[in-house]
Amino acid sequence: MTPASRSPLPLLLLLLSVTTGLVDAVSVLGLGKVFTANMTGNVVFLGFAAMGTPGFHPLSYLVAIGGFLAGAFVAGRTGKAHEGRPLHRWLMTAALIEATLLWAAALVSTRFDIASQSPDTALLGIVVLTALAMGFRNATVRQLKVPDLTTTVLTLTLTGLAADSSAAGGTNPNWARRIASVVAIFLGAALGAFLLAHPGPWGGMATALTLAGCLVLGGTMACAWLPARQEG
């Protein structure tokens, strides 16, 4: 077994993919047709809103995109600041930032009523906090350069599965990782939908966001202190 194959990073990124499903369930099902982990949907929705299509609110999309860009910018600076330092320190710093943002969003969500979509301040607060977290995540994962594990988008993953398959004349590279990435986001979304459909002591938006933050931090701690942590 090579050092690269022992790296815990792929497993961590699969766990982070589960949290993407949780966050998207919160934003799409709880905040009214807005994505905070996947910006492609927001750009499309913003186009709908620009044409006055009912049910699409431009402010939410603009706040999400702005928060995502800000999170990505901070992640870029954070990555540069950790150049030449041990990987586990960078990972832990990134996880603490992301988890803190998700937990802050969970706290704000306790003041938000999904049925009435109010108050607006709480709605926009949850949008910007989760978008900051996901923008930070995306930029951090991008710098890690682990193939076929972006943790947030699946378009290229699904394209690769089909285009690189043996039926298409390919060699099926990373097929297991690609499928696992799809399954991870699916499971996170399903779990998030379940939690939002069953509010109460153990369910609801706050539980989903708190769980996402715990998975990010707990998974990163496990990854950072495994023997293979120094391997990229």
Predicted confidence band of residue 6 (pLDDT cuts 50, 70, 90): low
CB 115, CB 97: distance < 8 Å:
no
pLDDT in tens, 176-219: 999 999 999 999 999 999 999 998 888 899 999 999 999 999 99
Q: Would the pLDDT of 228 be above 70?
A: no
Going by C-alpha positions, the residue among 159, 153, 174, 185 that lies closest to residue 5 is 174
In the structure encoding, which two tokens stand for residue 199, read together?
């509010």
Predicted confidence band of residue 232 (pLDDT cuts 50, 70, 90): very low
Mean pLDDT, range 151-166, rounded to an integer = 89
Mean pLDDT, range 16-21, rounded to an integer = 96
Q: Would the pLDDT of 224 be above 90?
A: no
Predicted confidence band of residue 53 (pLDDT cuts 50, 70, 90): very high
**Domain ranges (residues) in the chain:** 20-230
Q: What is the dihedral of CA 17, 19, 22, 26, to 10 degrees?
A: -110
Q: Which residues of 136-147 are buried (b: 16+ CB within 10 A; e: fewer)?
A: bbbbbbebbebe
pLDDT in tens, 101-155: 999 999 999 999 999 999 999 999 999 999 999 999 999 999 998 888 888 888 8
- HSE-CB at 194 with a 13 A cutoff on CA atoms is 8
CA–CA separation, 108 vs 88, rounded Å? 30
CA–CA separation, 131 vs 37, rounded Å? 6
- What is the percent of the chain where pLDDT is above 90? 74
Q: What is the DSSP string of 203-218?
A: BSHHHHHHHHHHHHHH
CA distances from 211 to 145, 154, 199 (A): 26, 22, 14
Q: The dihedral of CA 33, 38, 39, 41: what is its sign? A: negative
CA–CA separation, 146 vs 149, rounded Å? 6
Highest-pLDDT range among 37-41, 85-89, 106-110, 220-224: 106-110
In the structure encoding, which two tokens stand for residue 60, read together?
């939410």
Please provide residue 63's backbone torsions phi and psi, each rounded to the nearest 5 degrees: -65, -40
Predicted TM-score (pTM) of this structure:
0.90
